[in-house]
Structure 1
Amino acid sequence: MDAKQRASLQRRFATHLQGLLPQWPLSAPLLVAVSAGVDSSALLHLLRLCYPGPLQAAHFDHALRPCAKQDLAHVQQQCAQYAIPLHVGHWLPPAQKANLAAQARQARYRFLAQTAYGLKAPFIGIAHHQEDQAETLLERLLLRGAGLKGLSGMRPLAPLPMAEFAQVQLLRPLLPFSKKELTSWLQGEQITWREDPSNQDLRYTRNHIRHRLLPSLNALGVGEAIPQRLAETALHLQQADAALQWMVVQLAQQLPIEPYQENGLQLPLQPFAELPAELRARLLDHMLHTLVGITAVGQRAKENLWHHLSLPAKRWQMRMQGVAVTRVEQRLLVQPVLRAPGKRGETNH
């Protein structure tokens, strides 16, 4: 990538970043997660050049790879060279190895969240790019049978999945950019990075999608456009998802959903039951998020509620995910409860 192409990429990044942030310019610090790999190295240096506020970096050592010390040393050298403050976290892997990757990911995000909270940083920069988005869509489509929200992939701006840090958002400004162009930009800028050997391990689902499935799709004859097209599909689905969420807010006002007693909500039964299933499910998510902070109700719990709505009985109560849903004649009452052990999904008629 020559100097003109690198300048063009940098301008594209700056324009995209400015469009993502609700207020521009920002004076608050931005925390960027840096692993030493090509993706996070590109994000660190693009933010260094384009972000108008103070930039700080964070590196988390999972203690799972033999090259962890070298990765940390590389990040320290890069940050010191450009006077970027660096925060380092360490993790002691548990003796119980079940779901180790998920535990490590949760520990990393908790460290990032705590660091951002301490800095009063509203955003954490994460280096997911176009291929990551394509892999996310394929994984959720083929292995999880995800619905619209899941197939929308990763959002460029999303709240942390931790209630205590809800004011901190994940910022993913590299989603429109391919790994190939980010790598070429770093090479042209003569910026080094470190390779993660685990990215070649086909025991991990993501690596199998990256190294086996995507290349086989490229054999269809569209070449490297496959990740771009999948990322564009995810963006279209995000727009459809946002439209449905907008409609849910309108429905909450029209039904209407009103306060009930001190800490509950009530709504008319028939208009709710007659809604299309997707809108009914999203309205339920909206109510539970309002009451107890749950972002999404499990499918089994929803199906249980739909079953109860079809019953002739005009009085019943069921519990799910921290709330009691009660039918009283033609009204539904939704109230938070303390869930006793072994009472999940309990129903009273």
Structure 2
Amino acid sequence: MNSSKSQTVRFAGTKNLRSRLILSVLAGRTIVIEDIRVNESLDGGGIGLKDYEVSFLRLVDKLTNGSKVKINETGTSIRLVPGVPVGGEFEHECPVGRPIGYFVEWILPLALFCKNTVLIKFRGVTNSESALAIDSIQSTTIPLLRRVAGINLSVKLVKRGAEPGGGGLIIFTCQNAKSIPPLELTDAGVVKRIRGVAYSTRVAPSYTNRLVGAARGVLNRFTPDVYIYTDHHAKRTGGESPGFGLSLLAESTTHCLTVADASSGPDANDPEKVALDACSRLLEEIDAGGCVDSNHQGLVILMMAFGQEDVHSVRLGRLSGFTVQLLRDLRDFMGVEFKVAPERDESSVVLSCIGLGFSNYSKKLS
């Protein structure tokens, strides 16, 4: 590692906190994040790190060997000296302030390059508006990573847990990968079918039927091939709180996947509104174009940057603010720069880069 990459990387605020911590471990560079909510009063939720952010730090520490984490007394500054990704089997309790999807989304790229197979039992909220639902991760994130990295991984839903009580249980399993092959994902195709899951916990089973009916009333205007499964959980497997929601998946003729979801939240009691929200989000994602929806832009870009030393390219729709910042962070951490080529007469752009040729040497030795 040259001297330019051995320097400490510094940031301010909590923007892109999870991705920056993962980049720190994969790049092997110390990261310092300061000025964390220093301007927020106690009435606004308090200064410093939230409990779910501290929990994510602990999760990173569990997956690595030799990491050193230092948080100042007020929680407004953290320093991570990364260790070696080793993986392993353990349980992790997720604070109810964020769902399990918040943790799984950005642990995935780290789990790919761990020395050992990763098996984590997550407990907490499974479905929330603040992160992808577990159903969306199962239907889209997992198949996308299998396609990109060619590895075996799974997310098994054992118990659902709605806000605010949680009580859900997820078993996450991921084998390690030696390297990421060249990615070329530029043909988005056209949507040929829509699938979905309408779920409910500790409420009447009729809620799922109302979700399905309202969603089909919108989606059947665009395609007749719409099928939405129902998944009702009673008290034994329904967690601690009542709730319901809908996860929708659109598959194109080139097997590109677009996902969107919506959930009831702790106070909502209108399945039709939740269904319309999910449909509206899905249609917006489809209209934006691209081979990957906005929820997965960052994950694909990171896989490209750490992929084999070859040309990687992907067609994306409108770039989210998170994606733009991640592109800058990859340049700062690893020196990887992306070529952005807007498409004529379309809202999509094609991003391409030369991968770093990152290899999991522990995988080779094993």
TM-score (norm 1): 0.28
* Structure with greater helix percent: 1
TM-score of the superposed pair, with normalisation by structure 2: 0.27
